[in-house]
C-alpha cells in the first residue's frame, strides 16, 4: 500500500501536465506558421522544424488546427497555412528583416546592372489586405532608393506589385475591405510567362521578377533606374536576364 500511495500522486501529476504540454505544442505550431509567414503555405517538415516537434506530431496538431479553423491546407500537397481568424488572434505579423544572403543578392545585382535594387516580401493581413514589405534596398542615390521602394498604394502601378498580383493565389490578392485585386488578363499573362513586370514614373523605370520557392511566391526582386538607363531595348533585355538569374539563385539559397 505505501508503494501505491507513493505512486498515485506522481501519476496524477504527470496526467495533469499532459494537457499543458499538448496546448504548448499546439501553440508552437501556430506560432511557427505565423513566424514563417502567416500568409504563405508551408511544408509539414518545415513547420515541425520551426516548432521543435517531430513531423508526425506536428502533422497531427495541424489536422486539429484545420478542424478548429486555425489552419487550412495549402494549394500544394502536404502544405498548410494560417487562416485569417488565426492571424488575427496571433497579432501583428513579425517585422521583415534582411539577411546577409538578401543583401549580397542586391549588391551583386547592383554591381551587374548599375541600377538600384530592392527586395520585397508580400503579405496579407486582415484590415490591411495585400501589401509589399520593403526588406532591403541598395542604391547610390536617395531619390532612386525612394522609387526603388515601390511604395505606391496601388499595387497594379508598380513592377513589384504587378509581380505579386500575377503570382500570388487569389485569396491573398485583395484589399483591406476584401475587394479583389487583379491585373488585366493580357498583362497577367505577359508577366507570368516572362516572369518580368515593368513600371514607369516620370523620373524612373523599374523591372521586377518573382523569387519562388517551388510554385509559391516568397519575394519580389526589383531593379530601378533613370529613363536614360532603359532607352536601349538590348540593355533592357540584359537587365531582365540578370534579374531573373539573381532571383533563380536566391530561390536555391538561404535567402528565402
The answer, yes or no, to whether residue 8 has pLDDT greater than 50, is no
pLDDT digit string, tens, across residues 14-40: 444 344 577 778 888 888 887 777 667
pLDDT digit string, tens, across residues 166-193: 999 887 888 877 788 999 999 999 999 9
Tell me if residue 216 falls in helix, strand or coil.
Answer: strand
pLDDT digit string, tens, across residues 53-79: 999 999 999 998 898 888 889 888 889
pLDDT digit string, tens, across residues 128-164: 788 898 999 998 787 787 788 887 788 999 999 999 9
Average pLDDT, whole number, for the chain?
83
Q: DSSP label at 232?
A: S
Closest residue by Cα to residue 248 from 221, 226, 229: 221
What would the 3-class secondary structure string for 149-200 be? Answer: CCCCCCHHHCHHHHHHHHHCCHHHCEECCCCECCCCHHHHHHHHHHCCEEEE
C-alpha to C-alpha distances, 63 to 124, 203, 207, nearest whole angstrom:
23, 51, 41
Which residues neighbour 248 within 8 Å (Cβ) at sequence distance 6 or greater?
none
Amino acid at each position: 500500500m505505501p508503494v501505491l500511495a507513493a505512486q498515485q500522486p506522481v501519476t496524477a501529476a504527470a496526467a495533469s501536465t499532459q494537457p499543458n504540454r499538448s496546448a504548448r505544442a499546439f501553440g508552437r505550431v501556430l506560432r511557427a506558421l505565423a513566424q514563417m509567414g502567416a500568409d504563405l503555405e508551408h511544408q509539414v517538415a518545415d513547420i515541425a522544424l520551426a516548432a521543435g516537434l517531430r513531423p508526425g506530431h506536428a502533422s497531427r496538431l495541424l489536422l486539429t488546427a484545420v478542424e478548429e479553423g486555425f489552419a487550412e491546407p495549402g494549394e500544394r500537397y502536404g502544405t498548410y497555412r494560417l487562416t485569417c481568424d488565426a492571424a488575427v488572434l496571433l497579432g501583428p505579423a513579425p517585422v521583415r528583416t534582411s539577411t546577409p544572403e538578401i543583401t549580397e543578392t542586391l549588391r551583386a545585382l547592383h554591381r551587374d546592372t548599375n541600377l538600384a535594387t530592392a527586395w520585397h516580401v508580400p503579405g496579407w493581413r486582415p484590415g490591411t489586405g495585400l501589401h509589399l514589405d520593403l526588406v532591403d534596398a541598395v542604391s547610390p542615390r536617395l531619390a532612386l532608393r525612394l522609387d526603388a521602394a515601390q511604395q505606391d498604394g496601388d499595387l497594379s502601378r508598380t513592377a513589384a506589385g504587378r509581380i505579386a498580383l500575377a503570382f500570388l493565389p487569389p485569396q491573398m490578392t485583395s484589399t483591406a475591405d476584401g475587394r479583389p485585386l487583379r491585373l488585366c488578363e493580357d498583362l497577367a499573362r505577359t508577366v507570368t510567362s516572362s516572369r518580368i513586370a515593368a513600371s514607369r514614373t516620370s523620373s524612373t523605370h523599374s523591372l521586377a521578377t518573382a523569387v519562388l520557392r517551388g510554385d509559391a511566391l516568397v519575394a519580389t526582386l526589383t531593379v530601378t533606374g533613370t529613363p536614360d538607363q532603359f532607352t536601349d531595348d538590348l540593355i533592357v533585355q540584359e537587365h531582365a536576364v540578370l534579374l531573373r538569374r539573381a532571383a533563380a539563385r536566391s530561390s536555391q539559397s538561404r535567402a528565402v
